[in-house]
Amino acid sequence: MRTIVALPGDGIGKVVLPEAIRLLNAAGFIAEYVWGDIGWEFWRNEGNPLPQRTIDLIEKHKIALFGAITSKPKDKAAEELKPELRDKGYVYFSPIVALRQHFNLDICIRPCISFKGNPLNFIRKKIDGSYEEPFVNAVIFRQNTEGLYAGVEWTNPPEVVRKALETHPKMKAFANVPGEELAISTRIVTKKASERIIRSAFEYARKYNYKSVTLCEKPNVLRETSGMMLKIAREISKEYPEIQLWDTNIDAQMMWLTKNPEDYGVIVAENMFGDIISDGFAGLIGGLGFACSANIGEEVAVFEPTHGSAPKYEKLKPSIVNPIAMFMSAIMMLEHIGENDIADKIKKAIAKVIEEGKVRTYDMLKLKGGPDVIELGAATTQQMTDAVISKL
């Protein structure tokens, strides 16, 4: 029997993850779930949101389902530590970012594929005044460990760092800025990681018959980092002659994704640009309640919805949050470990519920979240799970 590490995390992660496990059980996926400690509670009480015992669990079992995480600015995080832990040198870091870096989960895959009948799907007005609903079928490959999220940054950089940076002529513009007024974040891109994410994007496109791979970067300004990725993409694309290589600038892409989203297939980008473009496409398929993701390394994989912890909804009874993003993340896990029949069964059940339209969470009814949405016809989190289970 396979063992899955379950990481509920914070806020609504504690709500949607158990529902996903309930659905997996109903669909016939047999597994043992071991629960790992991660998130804000462990930061406040231990000074570490990702305890070593959790890392050890993931190291042992290789597969994890993750709910959601709360992250706050550095000063706010320090204020919420237990009094006896304050001023002890503890610094908050995002545990999901730490997981990606510790296990080198360098490939992040974020499918943004619309479901027929979803009232939140993107629609486009036609010249005659009528509307059309293009089928959005984009899959974003986000480099997950480098770029602007690599964490190499300083406020008031050390003298050795500043002197090194000042060897670049562009730093002359900042020569007279006092150190305490200077904050620097680096964008680091390596050839090895770029080759791996770009090749993975082309392999996925070939496997699932996508006609194009789009590199979404900014090489006209970020000439070194984006330029390296574009050069590598052009070389790798020669090995996949049946797949077109497109390249777009991130700013222009954000405009085009609402003009012709159906034109795009697989998209690949650096960490921050991949984050931005995947949230943009998620908005076209219903928002973060439908957005799933996989973080994949050579040995370990962690699957998570891309929404946050939404703590204001955690304690609502009954729960109102949409669990579909968590369900879709569980489907990605099943596909990763070769349980394709069960994955397809769950995916079809979700599609039937959405197309039928009888059970919809508050976001699908375009309501503002709150305890009153149930009276307005919104389904609870548990009712949505029940509806999907009924269609298996």
Q: What is the pLDDT of residue 209?
A: 97
Q: Are residues 181 and 36 in the same domain?
A: no
Q: How far apart are CA 75 and CA 329, in angstroms?
A: 32
Residue 346 identity: I
H-only helix segments in 27-121: 40-46, 52-61, 74-79, 95-102
Number of domains composing the chain? 3
Q: Please give the model's pTM, rounded to 2 decimal places.
A: 0.94
Q: What is the pLDDT of residue 188?
A: 97
Residue with tokens 């499918």: 111
Q: Are residues 50 and 89 in the same domain?
A: yes
Residue 115 lies in a domain: no
Kindly report, residue by residue over 304-321, the tens digit of the pLDDT: 999 999 988 888 999 999
State the residue range of the domain holding 167.
152-185
Give the CA distances from residue 240 to residues 169, 196, 296, 308, 377, in Å, rounded to whole numbers and listed in that order.
40, 15, 22, 37, 49
Q: How far apart are CA 32 and CA 213, in angstroms?
A: 37
Q: Which of 238, 253, 284 is the last residue of a domain?
A: 284
| Tokens, residue 336 | 């990763």
Cis status of the peptide bond prior to 318, with omega within 30 of 0: yes
Q: Are residues 142 and 242 in the same domain?
A: yes
Low-confidence ranges of the chain (pLDDT < 70): none
Q: Are residues 135 and 227 in the same domain?
A: yes
Residue with tokens 């040995």: 299
Q: What is the pLDDT of residue 314?
A: 85
Q: Are residues 198 and 85 in the same domain?
A: no
Kindly report, residue by residue over 214-228, the tens digit of the pLDDT: 999 999 999 999 999
Q: What is the largest CA-CA distance in the chain?
A: 67
Q: What is the pLDDT of residue 151?
A: 86
Residue 250 lies in a domain: yes
Q: Are residues 178 and 234 in the same domain?
A: no
Q: What is the pLDDT of residue 75?
A: 86
**3-state SS string over 363-388?**
CCCCCCCCHHHHCCCCCCHHHHHHHH
Q: Which of 225, 252, 284 is the last residue of a domain?
A: 284
Report the CATH number at residue 226.
3.40.718.10
* Helix/strand/coil for 64: strand
Residue 117 lies in a domain: no
Residue 169 lies in a domain: yes
Q: Are residues 354 and 319 in the same domain?
A: yes
